[in-house]
């Protein structure tokens, strides 16, 4: 029984890891795009980006899941058939908004003098950002980014609200049969994975000690 349940939970955790990985791969770069939009000198782009971030950060992720999954069918008459795709879209949009604010905070915390020094040396704004500013910002934003990444691991459990069979939903099936321990057993999977992520981020932070500012 224990082996069978463990195998089923591992299968559900595999889906959890897939959702986690795809969300990170897409939301990290998208967050940078939104960040640049929020910092744009062209006011319409800046305000559109900031209103978007305000809406996403100001509403629950579970509500966003329902919007992505149900609204296409209600408004356009074309229901979202792929539940996993709906979850992925909602997660990517949500986390991109949060990452964009982390990026913006890191970039805006850099002294203006570094930009001015770059201009004096004849560098373009693009060169200044990616050759001078980027790695300093990366070190500054690593702790809040790591916090969001670990939060994402736990947030994947919300996928079950639209019947995507991640690990918590698999455990709930056993709970319905009168077995409560598999539900708590899922905590071991999350703790182990988040423990590995914590060690990974600690290693990366140590490697980035070349810059102290």
For residue 203, what is the domain's CATH number? 1.10.3720.10
- All residues at 6 or more sequence positions from 12 whose CB lies less than 8 Å from its CB, including other chains: 165, 166, 167, 168, 169, 170, 171
Q: Based on the structure, what is the number of domains in the chain?
A: 1
Q: Is residue 166 part of a domain?
A: yes
Round the average pLDDT of the chain to a whole number and report it.
Answer: 90
- All residues at 6 or more sequence positions from 43 whose CB lies less than 8 Å from its CB, including other chains: none
For 77-116, the pLDDT digits (tens) are 777 889 999 999 999 999 999 999 999 999 888 888 877 7
- How much is the pTM? 0.90
Which pLDDT score, from 0 to 100, does residue 186 have? Answer: 94
Which pLDDT score, from 0 to 100, does residue 208 have? Answer: 78
For 30-61, the pLDDT digits (tens) are 999 999 999 998 999 999 999 999 999 999 99
DSSP for 55-112 reads HHHHS-HHHHHHHHHHHIIIIIS-----HHHHHHHHHHHHHHHHHHHHHHHHHHTS-H
> The domain containing residue 112 runs over which residues?
2-207
Backbone angles phi, psi at 60, to 5 degrees: -65, 145
Q: pLDDT at residue 206 above 90?
A: no
Closest among 89, 96, 42 to 66, alpha carbons compared: 89
- All residues at 6 or more sequence positions from 159 whose CB lies less than 8 Å from its CB, including other chains: 15, 16, 19, 65, 84, 87, 166, 169
Helices (H), the chain: 2-38, 43-58, 61-71, 83-108, 112-120, 125-128, 134-155, 167-175, 181-207
Which pLDDT score, from 0 to 100, does residue 179 have? Answer: 87
Structure tokens at 206: 């140590």
Q: Is residue 213 part of a domain?
A: no
């Amino acid at each position: 029984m224990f082996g069978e349940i463990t195998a089923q939970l591992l299968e559900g955790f595999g889906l959890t890891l897939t959702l986690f990985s795809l969300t990170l791969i897409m939301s990290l770069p998208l967050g940078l795009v939104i960040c640049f939009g929020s910092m744009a000198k062209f006011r319409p782009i800046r305000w559109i980006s900031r209103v978007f971030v305000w809406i996403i950060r100001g509403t629950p992720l579970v509500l966003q899941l329902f919007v992505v999954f149900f609204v296409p069918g209600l408004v356009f008459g074309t229901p979202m058939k792929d539940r996993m795709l709906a979850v992925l879209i909602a997660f990517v949009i949500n986390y991109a908004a949060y990452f964009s604010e982390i990026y913006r905070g890191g970039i805006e915390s850099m002294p203006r003098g570094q930009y001015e020094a770059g201009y004096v040396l004849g560098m373009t704004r693009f060169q200044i950002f990616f050759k001078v500013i980027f790695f300093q910002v990366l070190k500054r934003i690593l702790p809040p980014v790591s916090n969001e990444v670990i939060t994402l691991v736990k947030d994947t459990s919300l996928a079950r609200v639209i019947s995507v069979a991640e690990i918590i939903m698999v455990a709930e099936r056993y709970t319905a049969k009168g077995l409560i321990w598999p539900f708590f057993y899922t905590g071991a999977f999350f703790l182990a994975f988040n423990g590995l992520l914590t060690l990974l981020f600690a290693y990366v932070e140590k490697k980035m000690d070349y810059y102290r500012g």
